[in-house]
Amino acid sequence: MSIISVQLLTGLAYGMLYFMIAAGLTIILGVMNVVNLAHGTLFMLGTYIAFTFISQQYSFWVAMLLSVILTAILGIIIERLLIRRVYGKELEQVLLTFGLSFVIADSVKWFWGTEMQTIPVPAMLDFSISVGEMVFPAYRLFVVLIGCLLATLLWYLESKTRIGAVIRAGVDDRSMVGALGINVGLVFTGVFAFGAALAGLSGVLGGPLVGMYIGMDSEILVTSLIVVVVGGLGSWKGSFIGAIIIGLIETLGKVWFPSLSMLIVFLLMMIVLIIRPQGLFGREVA
């Protein structure tokens, strides 16, 4: 039983990591109607930026804060200079962000090299707790806690604040929001920066779990897109539930069916799309 408990906790930790990056992706998609295929490279960039600061003897927490700020600033630059030019043009958005992902990935390869690295677990969390006869790293529980806190924050922002009301209205009718005198362009910039910051945050937190290597951006992007599709486009609640499901299936699948774990994940996505095309928590389009 303790082995199963440890695997469930591991799946939950990875699920929270997937949620943090998928939440930013689905918020950008839901509010701005932009499919950002460069989101995975922002995750990778956040990891490498934090690694650089930690290598310069900064603490893990300072490195995480600086990484989140810098990825948010990069998100603002990308939205202002590039994304703003292709609003309402789905094909151009896909091509632009897909190409941008290659530019960022190659820049990471050029600046940091191709050798696999890892971010060390912060000292205060570098211990394990007992789960029956097994032990479980405290850092993974910390990742679960951060994911739950983020879900709570998103719920509060959505349901209890004015900016949440503006974002919900923007999802429903962007033109009406603009007609009410709200600066839609500023809202879009803020949303994109917030999504980029979440990608950077998840990259830093994921560093000690998954390591750092060239190609991690593509892997995390595919998983995030699956989470978004299963949970429902534009729904952070759907991303939360979908990420937990995907994290558990992927982790348990690697234990019981190592060669079929990703196949099971794709089968789940296919079943959801057949039964409920809008996702578990997505709204049906009339």
What confidence score (pLDDT) does residue 162 get?
76
Average pLDDT over residues 208-225: 88
Selection from 19, 47, 40 nearest residue 220 by Cα: 40
Phi and psi torsions of 81, nearest 5°: -90, -30
What size, in residues, is the chain? Answer: 286
Buried b (16+ CB within 10 A) or exposed e, 124-138: eeeeeeebeebebbe
The amino acid that residue 45 corresponds to is L
Q: How far is CA 275 from CA 28, 236, 262, 278, in A?
A: 25, 20, 20, 9
User: CB burial class (10 A; 0-12, 13-18, 19+) of residue 153?
Assistant: exposed
Per DSSP, what are the bridge partners of residue 117?
Answer: 212
| pLDDT of 151 over the 80 cut | yes
With H, G, I as helix, E, B as strand and everything else as coil, classify residue 182.
coil
Domain spans of the chain? 17-216
Q: Can you tell me the mean pLDDT for 189-217?
A: 90
Supply the pLDDT for residue 173: 62
- When pLDDT is averaged across residues 264-271 and rounded to a whole number, the result is 85
Share of the chain above pLDDT 70, in %: 91
Global pTM reads 0.88
48-83 pLDDT, tens digit each: 999 999 999 899 999 999 999 999 999 999 999 998
Q: Is the pLDDT of residue 278 over 70?
A: yes
The predicted pLDDT at position 275 comes to 86
pLDDT of 286 strictly over 50: no
Among residues 109, 136, 127, 126, which one has the least CA distance to residue 4?
136
Return the pLDDT at 175: 66
What pLDDT was estimated at residue 272? 86
Instruction: For residue 240, give every residue at least 6 positions away whose Cβ sits within 8 Å of its Cβ, in sequence order, or none.
Output: 19, 23, 147, 151, 231
Which tokens go with 178?
């603009």
Indicate the average pLDDT of the chain.
Answer: 85
Amino acid at 102: F
Residue 181's region, left for phi above 0, alpha for psi from -120 to 50, else beta, is left
Contact 238, 232 (CB under 8 A): yes
Q: Give pLDDT, residue 194.
A: 92
The answer on pLDDT for 148 being more than 70 is yes
Residue whose structure tokens are 């190659």: 106
Asked whether 53 and 62 are in contact (CB, 8 A), the reply is yes
